[in-house]
Structure 1
Amino acid sequence: MDTKRLNLVDMAWLNVETERAPMHVGGLLTFRIPDDAPADLPRRIVEHYHQFTKAHSPWNHRLKAGRLQNVAPEWELLEEIDVEYHFRHSALPAPGGELELGMLASRLHSHPLDFHRPPWEAHLIEGLSDNRFAIYVKVHHSLVDGIAGMKLLARALAETKDDHDRPPFWAIEPRKRRRRAPSELSPGLYRAVAELMGDARDQVGSLPGFARIVRDMLKSARTQSGAAGLPFSSASSVLNNRIETQRRYATQMYSLSEFKELAKNAHVTINDIVLGVCGGALRRYLREIGELPDKPLTAGIPVSVRPADDDEAGNAITFIVASLATDIQDPGERLAAIAASTLRAKKSLSRLSAAAITQYTVALMAPYVLSLVTGMGGRTRPVFNVTVSNVPGPKGPLFIHGAEMEAFYPTSLVTHGQALNITVHGYADTLGFGFMGCRETLPSLQRLAVYAGESLDEIRALHGTKQDKKAAGKTTADANTGKTTARRRKSS
């Protein structure tokens, strides 16, 4: 049987796996069944998918057993998989709503994957209200990262509703790609591993810029006076404690076009609007449970950065740390503080060479990874308080056996020291927010999703259209008096 050695990054995801903190990511996709479709369409999809027992990379990778499993792990490449185990048919008592779907997704996401099999599974869930069904997928981070996994999943969806013969995602052969040298990789953690394993001579000239960032990072780690937006600059919060096994999951869906319009009117970026929504929601949620810190919470954010010394480089991926301005009550001032923080972080990185960006990424992530490997996660000062990711997705509608996908909600991981993850996934003209948290650490997490909508209303009142401002003003007034609004979308 063919085998494949895991790289250092994938090994790290295996080694930090614990019973209370499984390292899998995934997504929850909802579909609307067309009126002219057969009543048993979900069953027909399952039967069609169960015909495909041959799996391609990475879905056929199983961890090889042996004494060196934790030291030098390898994947075994299977010819076939137990497809009925990996793709399952589930149902909610009809008519299931968003709350019931979220509760089921919470339970499914709480359980670790079985490493005696390829570490992934999927569930088709029927019984949703309004003639809908859902597909929940989870995959271990050592097998594939969340962004790549969702791209592979999207390849199995059709661009037209008449395409009913497309095979499932595990049965699609991967595209062959030329193996790139370390210097061709985008700056970030994967490039860092490649350079550590290869030639790092070009990194010498980048040391001054890298040293400046590390100096600021260490200052923030040692003192309470570091500027918000630097790693280690935020005080510990309830989000940064040890976690338990069970998860709570909540979702919200918004219009991408509206976020673009709000960003344009406020002279900020779309991601600043996303962070503003999250910052406002976290401020209210933590204040209500009596856990709002005096210092602003910070977010670790994956961003695209173009190196200053590389005119031909495309988008480069690394992390920045930005303030969520949760210490500011006024929503307009909060959004301005967030935008200023993200702008400062991006400007700092834009001055660095590709090698310096790589070194910065390693310096940023090494304490986080080491804290998990050594069991110190949740016991030391956090690098940042919460991860907030904004992932672009397919631009047009997608279908499965004629049923159109209406929403794509990410389901990410939480760890010791990071009890909450907020990931946003784009699809067509929607932004699907997925709030994943530790059930015991963060009670009634669904309220956080509701408060995200109210935080967006505050931004609408400032930067929306006249109609938006009028509607948002009424909702904000209701929120300030403790009333709930009927137009708020249900959360899981």
Structure 2
Amino acid sequence: MVEKRRYLSLADNGFLITETEDSPKHIAGLLIFEKPKDADPDVVENLYKKWVTVDTVYPPYNLKLNASNPLTPYWTEDEDFKASNHLEFFTMPEGSTREALYKKVSDLHEPLTDQSIPLWRCYLIDGIGKDRFALYFRIHHCMMDGISGGKITEQSLATNVKDLDRPPFWAMEDNLYNRKSSRAKPKLLGRLINAATTNAKTAYGLSRISTQLCLEAVGLTTNAISLPFTSSKSALTGPVNNQRAFTTASLPMARVNHLQKIARNTLNHIALTCLDGALHRYLEHIGRPLEEPLTITMPVSLRREDAKVGGNQIGLVATKLAPQTDDPIIRLREIGVSLQNIRNQIDTSPASSIQAFSLVTNGVSQLVESASASQFVPPLSHTIVSNVPGPKKTLYVEGARLLEWYPVSTLGPGHRLNVTMFSYDGQLHFGLIAASAYLPDLNVLGDYIYDAFEELEAVVQSPDMGASLLAEKRKPKAVA
């Protein structure tokens, strides 16, 4: 029987090439559930015992990596798949806090994924309160991006509390990964024409972006996509070890949506305004303040609506946030302009050129990190921030209601922090993962995000647009 091979794209393979023991490249989700009423005390362990016997599996969960040639790795189907190789159940010690759960997630997120079996792991975690349990699921980034992961996970959960007969996610034959694209496959001539057209568009797009960046480098223009490798060094940038810290923050979507309407801005504008203010305050908290605008790398989806789910179809572009200010209105305005400009620039550039630009800039960043030359080369940006749209409806597993859904991402070359936002069932959830040896007290940053939101909300909704609030804040503090 001829072995069926599915070769990885260059973008997918990039997450394998850049992976090290200090910087694993898997992404994950932390899902927190409410146990069904009158549930058996061992309901979570029983769920594990039920799932661990299910060895029926469908792609992508049965795909095993063959990277004998690292330049042309490919997937093959695992003929000896065992659910027990991928599942684990444990109970947190009695009296464990939410912080203890986050510490456990940090520990689970640190080691490399075993490449001798399909590249995913699932942990069922009991003991986080009397009526709560968690599911932590991680998968290697070379298999899919966060948008694909969110969509496939959503499909595996039930929308009805009484739906108790769904198979576990790896045993769902009709998952989104295996659905055929609605586009007809072109014939040979069509494929040749498409390839030539794509190459021409990529070359045009890259030359256009390069020209704009060259003009910016000599001060003749300012672009939405920031000039790479011009950010200042900070506590957020530099080499890392394999120790991680994880924490979260959440904002109520009803209040976020109301604020959007009043301020006439998007969710991204509101969220990044809060994050920008919180990051500056956090850097002051750890004694490493930054007096210039933060530069963030943002993953942007390049996937067409009718494209197949799976793999990585994202571009990575850097943009500056707001100049240092204590006025949330100014911060919101500056960030709104930056994001609108970058959206326009991306929409007018071929997707292939954005992806090619991303591969080049992140490849250079990885070479700098691998050569331990970060002390000589400015960082690509200060941090990575992404926003993944999630389901608005309530979801369930075996009658247990999903209450919270937090993303747990990976660190990019030269970055010590990744912030990923995910909207679910009336909440905007932030998942923050960081190199704990360099960024202490990460939970404080989560608190600062909510504080920044409340401040922005108060300023926008006040009759004088926050003038009196800011005046009070700026009063010199009395010396005791």
TM-superposed deviation, 1:134: 0.3
TM-superposed deviation, 1:168: 1.0
Question: Larger deviation: 329-338 or 378-387?
Answer: 378-387
Partner of 1:369: 363
**SS of equivalent to 2:12:** helix
Instruction: Give me the TM-score of the superposition, normalised by structure 2.
Output: 0.85
Cα distance 1:84–1:350, how it changes in 2: closer, same or farther (>3 A)?
Answer: closer
Tell me the amino acid that sits aligned with residue 241 of structure 1: G
Question: Larger deviation: 136-145 or 270-279?
Answer: 136-145
Cα distance 1:182–1:333, how it changes in 2: closer, same or farther (>3 A)?
Answer: farther
- Work out whether residues 146 and 388 of structure 2, in 8 Å CA contact, stay in contact via their aligned partners in 1: no
Tell me the amino acid that sits aligned with residue 54 of structure 2: F
**SS of equivalent to 1:242:** coil
Cα distance 1:53–1:19, how it changes in 2: closer, same or farther (>3 A)?
Answer: same
Q: Where do 1:387-398 residues align within 5 Å?
A: 387-398=384-395
Cα distance 1:12–1:141, how it changes in 2: closer, same or farther (>3 A)?
Answer: same
Which residues of structure 1 form unaligned runs of 5+? 184-194, 482-492
Partner of 1:133: 133
Partner of 2:404: 407
- Work out whether residues 365 and 379 of structure 2, in 8 Å CA contact, stay in contact via their aligned partners in 1: no
CA distance in 1, matches of 2:196, 2:361: 22
Q: Where do 1:115-194 residues align within 5 Å?
A: 115-173=115-173, 174=175, 175-178=178-181
Cα distance 1:303–1:259, how it changes in 2: closer, same or farther (>3 A)?
Answer: farther
Partner of 1:434: 431
Partner of 1:60: 62
Aligned length: 452
CA distance in 2, matches of 1:340, 1:448: 25
Partner of 1:201: 197
Map Cα deviations across residues 380-427 of structure 1 (whole Å, 9 max, x no partner).
333322211111111211111111000100000013311111001111
- Work out whether residues 224 and 342 of structure 2, in 8 Å CA contact, stay in contact via their aligned partners in 1: no
CA distance in 2, matches of 1:113, 1:387: 22
TM-superposed deviation, 1:452: 0.7
Q: 1:216 aligns with which of 212, 218, 242?
A: 212
Cα distance 1:430–1:465, how it changes in 2: closer, same or farther (>3 A)?
Answer: farther
Partner of 1:25: 27
Cα distance 1:180–1:338, how it changes in 2: closer, same or farther (>3 A)?
Answer: same
**SS of equivalent to 1:321:** strand
TM-superposed deviation, 1:226: 5.8
Cα distance 1:23–1:182, how it changes in 2: closer, same or farther (>3 A)?
Answer: farther
Tell me the amino acid that sits aligned with residue 363 of structure 2: V
RMSD (Å), alpha carbons:
3.3
Q: Does 1:345 align with 2:325?
A: no
Cα distance 1:133–1:392, how it changes in 2: closer, same or farther (>3 A)?
Answer: same
TM-superposed deviation, 1:17: 0.9
Q: 1:230 aligns with which of 226, 229, 233?
A: 226
Partner of 2:99: 99
- Work out whether residues 213 and 223 of structure 2, in 8 Å CA contact, stay in contact via their aligned partners in 1: no
**SS of equivalent to 2:387:** strand
CA distance in 1, matches of 2:302, 2:142: 25
Partner of 1:490: none
TM-superposed deviation, 1:207: 6.1
Cα distance 1:5–1:305, how it changes in 2: closer, same or farther (>3 A)?
Answer: closer
Which residues of structure 2 form unaligned runs of 5+? 308-312
Q: Aligned residues: percent identity?
A: 30
Tell me the amino acid that sits aligned with residue 197 of structure 2: R
Question: Larger deviation: 270-279 or 295-304?
Answer: 295-304
Partner of 1:458: 455
Q: Does 1:35 align with 2:37?
A: yes
Map Cα deviations across residues 248-271 of structure 1 (whole Å, 9 max, x no partner).
001012212221111111111111
Partner of 1:484: none
Partner of 1:416: 413
Map Cα deviations across residues 63-118 of structure 1 (whole Å, 9 max, x no partner).
236xx332322223113423123111011113332211111001100111111111
Q: Does 1:294 align with 2:291?
A: yes
Question: Larger deviation: 45-54 or 173-182?
Answer: 173-182
Q: Where do 1:78-117 residues align within 5 Å?
A: 78-117=78-117
Question: Larger deviation: 438-447 or 206-215?
Answer: 206-215
Tell me the amino acid that sits aligned with residue 172 of structure 1: M
TM-superposed deviation, 1:148: 1.2
Instruction: Give me the TM-score of the superposition, normalised by structure 1.
Output: 0.83
Q: 1:9 aligns with which of 11, 23, 28?
A: 11
**SS of equivalent to 1:125:** strand
**SS of equivalent to 1:14:** helix
Partner of 2:310: none
CA distance in 2, matches of 1:403, 1:205: 49
- Work out whether residues 61 and 143 of structure 1, in 8 Å CA contact, stay in contact via their aligned partners in 2: no
CA distance in 2, matches of 1:465, 1:37: 47
Cα distance 1:71–1:350, how it changes in 2: closer, same or farther (>3 A)?
Answer: closer
- Work out whether residues 55 and 80 of structure 1, in 8 Å CA contact, stay in contact via their aligned partners in 2: no
Question: Larger deviation: 366-375 or 141-150?
Answer: 366-375
CA distance in 1, matches of 2:297, 2:140: 21
- Work out whether residues 317 and 358 of structure 2, in 8 Å CA contact, stay in contact via their aligned partners in 1: no
- Work out whether residues 145 and 314 of structure 2, in 8 Å CA contact, stay in contact via their aligned partners in 1: no
